[in-house]
Amino acid sequence: MRESDLEVLRELPLFKRMADRQLERLTRPASLHRYPANTLLIAEGSRPDFLHVLVEGCVELFASHNGRQTTIEIIRPTTTFILAAAILDQPYLKSAKTLLESRVLLLPANALRAVFREDADFAYAVIAELAERYRSVVKLLKDQKLRLTPERLANWLLKTAAVQNNTGSLTLDFEKKTLASLLGTTPENLSRALAQLETAGVKTTGRTITIANIEELRASANPSPLIDSSI
Amino acid sequence: MRESDLEVLRELPLFKRMADRQLERLTRPASLHRYPANTLLIAEGSRPDFLHVLVEGCVELFASHNGRQTTIEIIRPTTTFILAAAILDQPYLKSAKTLLESRVLLLPANALRAVFREDADFAYAVIAELAERYRSVVKLLKDQKLRLTPERLANWLLKTAAVQNNTGSLTLDFEKKTLASLLGTTPENLSRALAQLETAGVKTTGRTITIANIEELRASANPSPLIDSSI
DNA sequence: CGTGCCATTGACCATTATCAAACGACGTGG
DNA sequence: CCACGTCGTTTGATAATGGTCAATGGCACG
């Protein structure tokens, strides 16, 4: 592992306050990999050998059942993923694949489980991380059950535009069908939902979407901190 | 707090291995309450002062937005609820109300946060609990996004019948409209979904539902351990 | 310069929600 | 003990939402 990667790890809330000795114990057997876009990293149902940390790129978490498939989350650096499965040593509930060329750090799950039994600060960081993840999935479930597709889209646009820049424009760096699946709909209906939002000042040209008037869109999206906040 | 209630607490995975001294510190300021059915215990958006433990009865966790409302979970004894909010000291994402007369133990959230910083066993138990909760919400989200209403109902029936007894009959102890909301549909459509499952041997009389042939229902429900298992 | 896949559009169908009405269980008060 | 009202459930009719199928155009990549 390169020194610069170790620094990246140190920046994560999960590892920020960890004792040097413990961090070394975790990172010594770790390895950093580079994957091209559209590489399957994890297959739903398999056993978790590693905690994954996305260092660079973009990863989609998705699940399949009965011939259907849905996107659960899209992960950005720097984030750990599939923490719960690694901790419990239970089969992955989601598959993971790269959407862009990505660098991923693999930390052996057994080292992880050993370390947080000995490092109270780390144990607390894991608690905080899991609690936040829990809340974010609850928000996804509320979004799905309490909103119609155009509302989900409008709120997603507001959130994403706010993260990318604050000028009210955003650019997708993955396919629209992936966004459709994330929103719980089909590519066809995403197209229609985007067309429908034109009346609220949303203009789509290829992968770039501009929001003419953020306040106007916000009024129709009706965002709620109990569904849309990142915390 | 009565001695018998303390024993109940000790049975929970969360408190099983906790040091006596720490448990006492947590339970000294705790209080046990009895609530009639249909009592609001927690309002979405408010601040978490207590970790709740359902000791007896039945509690519904639900969320509202934009005039809509949906049930997230139905909790049975003995279970803690709204753990993540209490740990992070963040606003509740869900409301909670009793569906039956219930007894609920309230543990002050600040005592909770103090204790798991000092008791490694407890910290680990919290980690395991949160990881399991996280996985169970992911399963709910998959259920919602990957299945149609009759499939969700069929799988819910199989799970619930297995928990209640193994004879293939089950009795609801709450209203059908609550089940409808849990399944992400309306009472009208739940009625129709139940009628539809009659062809698979499901017979509804009032609040009692009998499954003539479990294997036949299972074939049409297509359950998956990655969505339906309780672990 | 094809070939293949994504995105869009239109037509159609499936699923689900809403509205309305009727029925029945339950509890209250006469 | 019965009449009545309330509310949950069911059923039917209708509307809205979303999914599927098919066709087209565009763009990237070989």
Distance B39 CA to D1 C1' (A): 33
Nearest-angstrom CA–CA distance, A174 and A160: 13
A157 and A218 belong to one structural domain: yes
Cis check for the bond before A78: say yes or no (omega within 30 of 0). Answer: yes
End-to-end CA separation in angstroms for chain A: 31
How many independent structural domains does chain B possess? Answer: 2
Q: How many CB atoms lie within 10 A of CB A195?
A: 12
Q: How distant, in Å, are the alpha carbons of A54, A209, B90, B112, B128 from that of B118?
A: 31, 50, 22, 10, 17
Q: Which chain B residues are within 8 Å of A226, Cβ to Cβ? A: 44-45, 63, 65, 91, 93
Is the distance between the Cβ of A149 and the closest atom of strand D smaller than 7 Å? yes
Nearest-angstrom CA–CA distance, A116 and A123: 5
Mean pLDDT of B112-124: 92
Nearest-angstrom CA–CA distance, A179 and A172: 9
Distance B190 CA to D3 C1' (A): 33
Question: Could you tell me which of B213, B102, B176, B130 has the C-alpha nearest to residue A134?
Answer: B130
> Which chain B residues 163-182 have CB under 7 A to strand D?
175-177
Is the distance between the Cβ of A184 and the closest atom of strand D smaller than 7 Å? yes
pLDDT tens string B133-157: 999 999 999 999 999 999 999 999 9
**Token pair of A105, please?**
């750090």
A50 and A118 belong to one structural domain: yes
Asked which of A80-89, A93-102, A111-120, B212-221 is least confident by mean pLDDT, the reply is A111-120
Handedness of CA A154, A217, A133, B8 (dihedral sign): negative
Mean pLDDT of chain B: 95
* Cross-chain residue pair B127–A90, CB shorter than 8 Å: no
- Find tokens 């209640």 and name the residue: B164
Q: How many CB atoms lie within 10 A of CB B161?
A: 20
User: Which one of B144, B166, B185 terminates a domain?
Assistant: B144
B50 and B106 belong to one structural domain: yes
Q: Which chain A residues are within 8 Å of B148, Cβ to Cβ? A: none
User: Which one of A144, A162, A192 terminates a domain?
Assistant: A144
How confident is residue A65, by pLDDT bands cut at 50, 70 and 90?
A: very high
The CATH number assigned to the domain holding A67 equals: 2.60.120.10
A11 and A86 belong to one structural domain: yes
**Does pLDDT of A86 surpass 80?**
yes
B75 and B186 belong to one structural domain: no
How confident is residue B131, by pLDDT bands cut at 50, 70 and 90?
A: very high
pTM exceeding the 0.85 threshold for the entire prediction: yes
Q: What H or E segment, with its residue span, contains residue A95?
A: strand A95-98
Alpha helices per DSSP H over B58-210 = 83-88, 109-115, 120-146, 149-164, 176-182, 187-196
Mean pLDDT of A59-65: 98
pLDDT at A42: 97
How confident is residue B166, by pLDDT bands cut at 50, 70 and 90?
A: confident
How confident is residue A165, by pLDDT bands cut at 50, 70 and 90?
A: confident
B71 and B7 belong to one structural domain: yes
**Which nucleotide does the CA of A189 lie closest to, via C1'?**
D18
- Who's near B19: CB < 8 A, 6+ residues apart? B119, B121, B122
Greatest extent of chain B over all pairs of C-alpha atoms, in Å: 58
B85 and B161 belong to one structural domain: no
pLDDT at B64: 98
A113 and A57 belong to one structural domain: yes
CA dihedral B161, B164, B166, B169 (to 10 degrees): -50
A35 and A116 belong to one structural domain: yes
A116–chain B Cβ distance below 8 A for any pair: yes
pLDDT tens string B72-84: 999 999 999 999 9
A138 and A47 belong to one structural domain: yes
pLDDT at A140: 98
A135 and A158 belong to one structural domain: no
**Does pLDDT of A3 surpass 90?**
no
Question: Could you tell me which of A17, A8, A93 has the C-alpha nearest to residue A57?
Answer: A8
**Å from B218 to nearest chain A CA?**
14
User: Which one of B92, B126, B144 terminates a domain?
Assistant: B144
Handedness of CA A114, A118, A119, A124 (dihedral sign): positive
Nearest-angstrom CA–CA distance, B200 and A20: 60
The CATH number assigned to the domain holding B211 equals: 1.10.10.10
Mean pLDDT of A200-218: 96
Cis check for the bond before B199: say yes or no (omega within 30 of 0). Answer: no
Q: What H or E segment, with its residue span, contains residue B108?
A: strand B102-108
A145–chain B Cβ distance below 8 A for any pair: yes
Phi and psi dihedrals of A225, rounded to 5?
-60, -20
What positions of strand C are covered by protein, i.e. any atom < 7 Å from a CB?
6-11, 15-20, 25
pLDDT at A116: 86
pLDDT at A6: 84
* Residue B197 burial by Cβ neighbours in a 10 Å radius (0-12, 13-18, 19+): buried
By residue range, what is the domain housing residue A167?
148-228
Mean pLDDT of chain A: 95
A80 and A164 belong to one structural domain: no
* Cross-chain residue pair A137–B138, CB shorter than 8 Å: yes
Nearest-angstrom CA–CA distance, A111 and A203: 49
**Token pair of B141, please?**
């989200």
